[in-house]
Homo-oligomer: A and B are copies of this chain.
Amino acid sequence: MSDQDRIEIHPEPVYGAGIWHFATYVDRYATDGYGEPRTVLDAIKLAGAVDDLAVVDLNWPFPPGNVSTAEVKDALAEEGLRAIAVTPEFYTGKFAKGGFTNPDPAVRRQAIELVAGSAEVGRELGVDYVKLWPGQDGYDYPFQADYTDLWDKSVDAVRELALAFPDLRFAIEYKPREPRNRMVFSSMARTLLAIEDMAVDNVGVLLDFGHSLYGGETPAEAARMAIARNRLFAIDVNDNFRGWDDDMVVGSVHLLETFEFFFALRDAGWDGVWQLDQFPFREDSVEAATAGIRTMRAFHHALDHLDRDALAAAQSAQDALRAQRIAKRALYRALAESESV
């Protein structure tokens, strides 16, 4: 066999990152923070220092809260970056018992209005989608919640937003848990069912590789399912130890499954942004992003060299050893080249 015969050169994907990749963090122990606080403008400057990073997803209100859209636009322009998305922060302390599902109707309304505000900013920035991550929408204890009520409120809120902004797209990022012990939008399939219940066209899913992985899904399989329903609006990648959303650097643990995920995207003809959602608590954020992109680029090259016919034949026989070998052959060569630079 000669791999040379089968090369398909695809254009390089666009690489992106959540702007929080370049922030610093707190947790319940290091309440004073892992590093000094950074404004969105600081973070944009760092993002600009990462080669090949082209787009960013921006939290809104822009941290620490008093930065204008104009300032953000200027900062992006200066760094040659584009805003792919805006992420409204309706998961702060005020929304501790829920954003879309808060027991207090006034707080629920504030959550919806916050998202609406972000949507308007998103329009101004020309984003591809508004990201919805209802992190506080869920529950913590057995018997605490009326599950039907949580579901209905979640569906209703997103539908309302989708109808209010028909020119925009909304991408729901599901996650099994954290910060709530259990979340409403907890898996790909549940989120797709909820989107059906919304009965609108402009709502889809953001598949975060790590969320999918520690939620017990096979991310490549979840991606196929969403693409088949035209609902995969965006993806985020990172890695973890399969028990929590560790947001580690791409490929640092689950190399083969991450490669399989990108294979699924390309094989299905999905052409969105390859985007990082890493949290470098104790690492240099520019280096962490660079490392993540280096690995994604190796995946990209590996896919050019992957013997797809042979893989399809192995898969149609469910021949795990042969399929893995075909995938590894392409992957390891590309990784070796990538790391030898």
Contacts and interface: CB of A to CB of B under 8 A. Distances in A.
Interface of A: 25-35, 91-98, 103, 135-136, 139-149, 151, 176-179, 181-182, 186-187, 189-190, 192-193, 215-216, 218, 220-221, 224-225, 228, 241-244, 246, 248-249, 252-257, 260, 263-264, 279, 281-284, 287-288, 291, 311-312, 315-321, 323-329, 332-333, 335-336, 338-340
A113 B187 CA distance: 34
Contact of A93 (B35, B148, B319): B35
A215 B216 CA distance: 7
B143 A318 contact: no
A82 to B, nearest CB: 25
Q: Pick the 3 closest A-B CB pairs, nearest first.
A: A189-B189, A336-B336, A141-B320
A20 B108 CA distance: 29
A241 B244 contact: no
Given A35-B96, A96-B282, A147-B218, 15 more contacts: A27-B28, A30-B179, A32-B92, A34-B93, A140-B282, A141-B323, A142-B324, A143-B315, A187-B216, A190-B225, A193-B225, A216-B216, A255-B255, A329-B340, A333-B340
State how many copies of this chain the complex holds: 4
A91 B260 CA distance: 27
B324 A335 contact: no
Contacts of A323: 141, 143-144
A176 B216 contact: yes
Contact of A193 (B147, B192, B291): B192
Given A317-B103, A332-B335, A147 B220 contact: yes
B179 A29 contact: yes
A80 B288 CA distance: 49
Given A92-B32, A147-B221, A248 B317 contact: no
Nearest to A35: B93
A144 B318 contact: yes
A34 B97 CA distance: 10
Contact of A142 (B143, B225, B252): B252
B325 A291 contact: yes
Given A182-B218, A216-B176, A332 B324 contact: no
A293 to B, nearest CB: 13
B143 A260 contact: yes
21 contacts: A26-B27, A28-B279, A29-B91, A29-B135, A29-B136, A30-B93, A31-B92, A33-B93, A35-B93, A139-B320, A140-B282, A140-B320, A142-B220, A142-B324, A143-B256, A144-B320, A177-B244, A187-B187, A249-B324, A253-B256, A291-B324
Most B CB within 10 A of own CB, among A25, A35, A91, A328: A328
Nearest to A104: B317
Contact of A288 (B103, B187, B192, B321): B321
Contacts of A312: 146
B335 A328 contact: yes
A25 B26 contact: no
Contacts of A338: 332
A179 B335 contact: no
Given A98-B318, A291-B325, A260 B148 contact: no
